[in-house]
Amino acid sequence: MHILHNYKATTSKIQNRILAIFLIAAVVPILTIGCISITWLRSQMQEHYEKQLEAEAMRANSVLFDITTSVYTASEPLVSSNQWRQLFGSQANVHPHDENYADFTSDVAALKNNTAAISTILVYTNNPHIPNNSYIHRISAFEGQEWYSVLSDKDWNHWGCVSSTRRRQDYYELSLVRRIATLTGKYSACLVVRLDTNNLKNRMNQNTYTLISTVNNYPVFYSNNESFLHKNFPFQGEYRQDFFTYNGPIHLEGGNQLSRIVSFRPYGTKDMFYICVSAPDAYRSMWNLNFSYGCIILIGIVVPMVVILLFLSVFSRRLTTLKDAMHKASEGDYNIVEQLKGDDELSEVFTDLKRTVQLIHEKEAAIYTAQLNEQILINKQQQMEFKMLASQINPHFLYNTLETIRMQALAAGNRNIARSIKLLGKAMHYVLENSGTNSTTLDRELSYIKTYLDIQKLRFQDRFTCEIIVDNGIQPENYLILPLLLQPIVENAVIHGLESVAERGYAQLHISLNGDILWITVQDNGCGIEPQALTHIKRDIKEHNPSDSKSIGLYNINQRIRLRYGDEYGLQIESSKNTGTTVTLCLPAQNINQE
């Protein structure tokens, strides 16, 4: 019993030491590095969002300042001209055909028609001698008019929000109200310029962030999220000051959103505009980042901990087995039938013990059998370990390995091998990145095609040239297509079309736009296709079970296009023997900006 107690104590000490070493050498560094990494990544992500919000706020600020300045300066001649002051201060009846009256009406109409930002222009006057028309309204008193509340007693120009009704719905329009000083002083006139809300949307709504704008203490007159329109500005802090800026969280839509608030004073008035730009998903994205990295750190700790505990459990059983065998031998019982698997010092001690006992009983054959069985177990274990390692080799590992080999080739001065590996790694990276995705941009797909052609040029050298032509007016980064759509067609043009061409092989990829149709044409001057074979290929492209394995790639491309966009889109192929082959893709022009 005393010996058994000593063995258990020894086993417990070894387990505790291994666990302590694991905690010190693995858990503490992983937690420390993980926490530092999460903090740094979160700060980088928040800084990225803040820079984007700052840039968007500056853009909206610039657009709104430009609109208000242009409207203010354009309306200046209507309020500062002595000719119009005399007109609205006239104490004699003004006939609609009077020259001054007609000229003023014409100037107002010209300003309205030539300024896209203006929705309506109206001049209100209490002069009974001025007749009404579509731009001049005669009223008995200014008090009580909603637009008149925008002006204070001492100010002559002010920006404000004036309610209006459109399609039986009330809404606010950003308006400029300006007094027209009459020469007599007996009568008054005010110019009310209302800005076009649709024009504001077209010029300001160019991003996925939430944009809110107001002036002075008025409700929100513009937002790309209609739930904020005509409500109070969402920020509750002390922001009523000149040139106010704020970066931080704001409570919007039931939660905090990372936001930036800026302000500016428009040209010619004492008003103050406030613009709030917020990123609804910023904090959620940062939380998801923290959660993901936290799970990774937890897995990085739990998995090794489980492995260590399993190892200690096996180790403890092996020590117990060794202890029992030694105890039997010490008492003269040489009938040791237990097996201690493994390839370490414990197994060696156990083997030595069994060998000693077996030598006493002159059982050399049994010793040989035991050694053979042990070796078989070791081989099986090595095979299992090899299979485990092989199962861990995935495309991402291959891509990282290629990058390592490329860096070694560069270090060795072999730039040709480094370039070949770089091209292959770049192609693999694109394929991995777009595996399982539904769309990519046209410029990224063309970049992948260029990489593929560079790889083929390493094989064919100067036997062929390839040209990519994009018509003027097409910006590839703005159009979406299915990923990995063009490479099989280009590969057919290079491999099947140009492989038999000894020199001067040529392939062209041409992208054109016709209305809302995007045409992509791949043409080569290769050996072409026999008429009978071409007929079979065209049939196989449309059938569900292509008979020729060479048509499966084209059939898959055609099916992908039709399943995604509809039966009116797809693939066409034309070819002549010894002339070349032309493959044309008909796709919908999906412009990111328009969508």
Looking at 168-172, 346-350, 490-494, which range is the least confident one? 168-172
Which structure tokens are listed for 544?
């569900």
In this prediction, residue 72 carries a pLDDT of 92
Q: Find the mean pLDDT for residues 302-310.
A: 82
Percentage with pLDDT > 90 across the chain: 15
Strand order in the sheet with 136-138: 136-138, 118-125, 189-195, 169-180, 157-166
Q: Give tens-digit pLDDT for 322-370.
A: 777 777 766 666 666 566 666 666 677 767 767 777 777 666 556 767 6
In this prediction, residue 405 carries a pLDDT of 62
Q: Find the mean pLDDT for residues 299-324.
A: 78
The total number of residues written for the chain in this structure: 595
**Global pTM value:** 0.50
In this prediction, residue 456 carries a pLDDT of 80
In this prediction, residue 315 carries a pLDDT of 74
In this prediction, residue 336 carries a pLDDT of 66
Q: Find the mean pLDDT for residues 76-93.
A: 86
- Burial of residue 506 (CB within 10 Å: 0-12, 13-18, 19+) is middle
Distance CA 399, CA 114 (A): 59
Distance CA 353, CA 229 (A): 87
- pLDDT-derived band at 385 (thresholds 50, 70, 90) equals very low
> Is pLDDT at 394 greater than 50 in this prediction?
no
Q: Find the mean pLDDT for residues 195-207.
A: 83
Q: Give tens-digit pLDDT for 213-247.
A: 998 888 888 888 888 888 888 876 555 556 778 88
> Is pLDDT at 1 greater than 60 in this prediction?
no
Distance CA 15, CA 311 (A): 10
- Paired with 163 in beta bridges are 172
Percentage with pLDDT > 70 across the chain: 78
Q: Find the mean pLDDT for residues 6-29.
A: 71
261, containing H or E segment:
strand 255-264
Higher pLDDT among residues 140 and 12, named by residue: 140
- pLDDT-derived band at 562 (thresholds 50, 70, 90) equals confident
Higher pLDDT among residues 179 and 495, named by residue: 179
Q: Tell me what the pLDDT averaged over the chain comes to.
A: 79
**Cα dihedral 200, 203, 205, 211 in deg (nearest 10):** -60
Contact 119, 221 (CB under 8 A): no
Spell out a b/e string for 147-175, using b for 16 or more CB atoms within 10 Å of the CB, else e.
bbebbeeeeebbbbbbebeeeeeeebbbb
What percent of the residues of the chain are helix, what percent strand, and what percent coil, each to the nearest 5? Answer: 50, 20, 30
> Is pLDDT at 306 greater than 50 in this prediction?
yes
State which amino acid sits at residue 63. Answer: V
Contact 583, 572 (CB under 8 A): yes
Residues 6+ apart with CB under 8 A from 94: 87, 100, 101, 129, 130, 131
Q: Which long-range contacts (CB under 8 A, 24 or more apart) does 497-500 make?
A: 497/524, 497/525, 497/526, 497/527, 497/528, 497/580, 497/581, 498/460, 498/463, 498/464, 498/524, 498/525, 498/526, 499/460, 499/526, 500/526, 500/527
Q: Find the mean pLDDT for residues 539-559.
A: 74
78, containing H or E segment:
helix 28-80
